[in-house]
């Protein structure tokens, strides 16, 4: 019920609130297939971001005319994950 009411509550705080040992709570969470919540800070969009995106698109479009397989050479990361790693 603790995680239903507060799904973002840390396992440490939940264990304290329920008077459980953290190891017991972790074992119970694993048994119920619950995963601990780890907050990640993401940076907000800046005012220049749309301009930078447009500029990148124009650069890629111009380069594609010279190099047809350019898009195959680019590694396209998951934006949410890469944003978390940058901070």
pTM of the model: 0.38
Residue 18 lies in a domain: yes
Q: What is the pLDDT of residue 84?
A: 45
Residue 37, in any domain of the structure: no
pLDDT at 34: 79
**Count of domains observed in the chain:** 2
Q: How far apart are CA 69 and CA 67, in angstroms?
A: 6
Enumerate the H helices of the chain as residue ranges: 2-5, 11-18, 22-31, 49-66, 70-73, 79-86
Q: Mean pLDDT, 10 residues at a time, over the chain (87 residues)?
A: 72 85 87 76 82 88 82 73 47
Domain with 25, as residue range(s), is 2-31
Q: What integer pLDDT is reported at residue 83 of this predicted model? A: 47
Tell me: do 56 and 82 sit in the same domain.
yes
């Amino acid at each position: 019920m603790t995680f239903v009411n507060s799904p973002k509550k840390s396992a440490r705080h939940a264990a304290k609130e329920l008077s459980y040992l953290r190891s017991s709570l972790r074992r119970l969470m694993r048994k119920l297939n619950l995963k601990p919540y780890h907050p990640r800070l993401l940076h907000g969009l800046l005012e220049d971001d749309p301009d930078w995106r447009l500029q990148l698109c124009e650069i890629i479009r111009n380069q594609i005319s010279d190099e047809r397989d350019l898009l195959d050479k680019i590694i396209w990361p998951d934006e949410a994950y890469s944003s978390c790693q940058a901070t």
